[in-house]
Amino acid sequence: MKKKPELLVLLIALLAMAAKLYCASTTYGTVDEVFFYRFAQNIAHEGVVNNYLHDPLFNHPPLLGNYLGFIYELAGGSNTTRASGQRFAFYQRLPGIIADFIVVLGLLWVRRRTGRPPWWAIAVLAASPISFMVSGYHGNFDPLIPLGLVLTVLACIHGRALLAGVLLAVACQVKIIPLIMSPVLFFFWWHRSKERAVTFVVANVLTLLLCWSAPLLAIPGVFARHVLVYNSIWGWWGITYLLNMTGIPAFAGIVSMKPLTPAETWVVQALKLLIIVGTLVVAWRRRKGSAADLLATMAVVWALFFTFAPGFGVQYLVWVSPFLIYYSARWFLAFTAAGSVALFVFYNSISNGMPWQKGIGLERFFPVWGPPLLLPWVVFVAFVILNRREFGIGAAPQNGQLDDASGETGESAPSTAPSVS
């Protein structure tokens, strides 16, 4: 009988994966697919390093760039023949679709060991509209980021500091953002063993350098500018959206490739500082938690990040769910509802209504989809305010213990994960 909920979740996850595969095979996706196709074509012809030099929009690490070149050829591209756009778009979305399924498997494994998160919440995650719209339709590699971080936590549960360092570095081969979790993991290991903390850091740094070695050696300045200090898009999320809406010239507009104004630069740096300081505080305060509680700690960091994020892409919303679900099933449900509404409006507007086939013209429809994006942002703001004790503001948890933030779910099974100290 105990296996029935798990089998039901697996069935839902398989059906969701099938739906995403169908969507990926019958639609082209958003304008991101146009950019990835161009990147892939250039990489297949002249290599990843040259693409950094010739295309400033390419802001991904080289491992992902090599995959783009590979699937361009897999889709029929060559020096004389252009790849099939539809086949390329399918291969581009395939890793994210598979990643979503593996994340569900990972959480089921965590559930067996800790009793968290509840079955119904994992089922909602498996069928999440956010996951479907981003992984099945959008056309980006962001679903690989939560997979990399979940696998990193699983390595920590097994007490493998070296493997955790390697996996965090691998997660950074999609985008640099997973490094925001490095203080969380470092303080976790430091509290248990300084030697393991050093092992984690060395493994992480060496893997990063190895994976980035080609552009770092050939074009270090260009690589750092395009990948390591990428700021995303100003003006359509949270604080920068509200500043944009004031109409003040120094803060107005959606800024991607154009240089930021001095005022925008100041705001971006201030918001980044808030995120960095807050992350360090959370990582230190929660360092004594179990390895599985790293998922909850990462949820707090993501909430902080999205509250103060100076730049944004809608596909980023897929980063959060596997961590928020462990911290609190109710907060996860609130985020899923708000994010699903916001993303549906976004994709439906840029795709000119149902059925979706190709989504372009983001700025043209900004008045339609911009305001609904405040919904998930408000959820994050409320989360940070109501859980401010995580940042050392307000009453601290008694006896130095972490709150069981999922206690309201009705499943209060104690954590049985072994200590790695």
pLDDT at 234 (0 to 100): 86
DSSP-based three-state secondary structure for 291: coil
Number of H helices, E strands in the chain: 20, 2
Contact 402, 116 (CB under 8 A): no
Q: Would you give the DSSP letter of residue 414?
A: P
93 lies in some domain: yes
pLDDT at 274 (0 to 100): 96
Q: Is the peptide bond before 117 cis (omega within 30 degrees of 0)?
A: yes
399 lies in some domain: no
Contact 135, 101 (CB under 8 A): no
Question: pTM for the whole thing?
Answer: 0.91
Which residue, among 383, 371, 381, has the nearest Cα to 236 in the 3D structure? 371
Q: Report the half-sphere exposure of 135 (CA within 13 A, side-chain side).
A: 31
Both tokens assigned to 207: 């893997």
Q: What angle do CA 260, 363, 50 make, to 5 degrees?
A: 60
Which residue, among 342, 357, 360, has the nearest Cα to 89 in the 3D structure? 357
87 lies in some domain: yes
Q: Tens place of pLDDT for every residue, the chain, 421 residues?
A: 467 899 999 999 999 999 999 999 999 999 999 999 999 999 999 999 999 998 888 989 999 999 999 999 999 988 888 989 999 999 999 999 999 999 999 999 999 999 999 999 999 999 999 999 999 999 999 999 999 999 999 999 999 999 999 999 999 999 999 999 999 999 999 999 999 999 999 999 999 999 999 999 999 999 998 888 777 888 899 999 999 999 888 888 776 656 788 999 999 999 999 999 999 999 999 999 999 999 999 999 999 999 999 989 999 999 999 999 999 999 999 999 999 999 999 999 999 999 999 998 788 899 999 999 999 999 999 999 999 999 888 655 443 344 444 434 333 333 333 333 2
410 lies in some domain: no
pLDDT at 400 (0 to 100): 37
pLDDT at 73 (0 to 100): 94
CA distance 67 to 410: 44
Residue with tokens 């990147």: 39
Kindly report the number of other CB atoms within 10 A of residue 392's CB atom: 12
76 lies in some domain: yes
88 lies in some domain: yes
233 lies in some domain: yes
Contact 352, 368 (CB under 8 A): no
Domain count, the chain: 1
420 lies in some domain: no
Kindly report the number of other CB atoms within 10 A of residue 172's CB atom: 24
Residue with tokens 């699983």: 154
pLDDT tens digits, one per residue of 271-325: 999 999 999 999 999 999 999 999 999 999 999 999 999 989 999 999 999 999 9
Domain encompassing residue 130: 3-393
pLDDT at 395 (0 to 100): 55
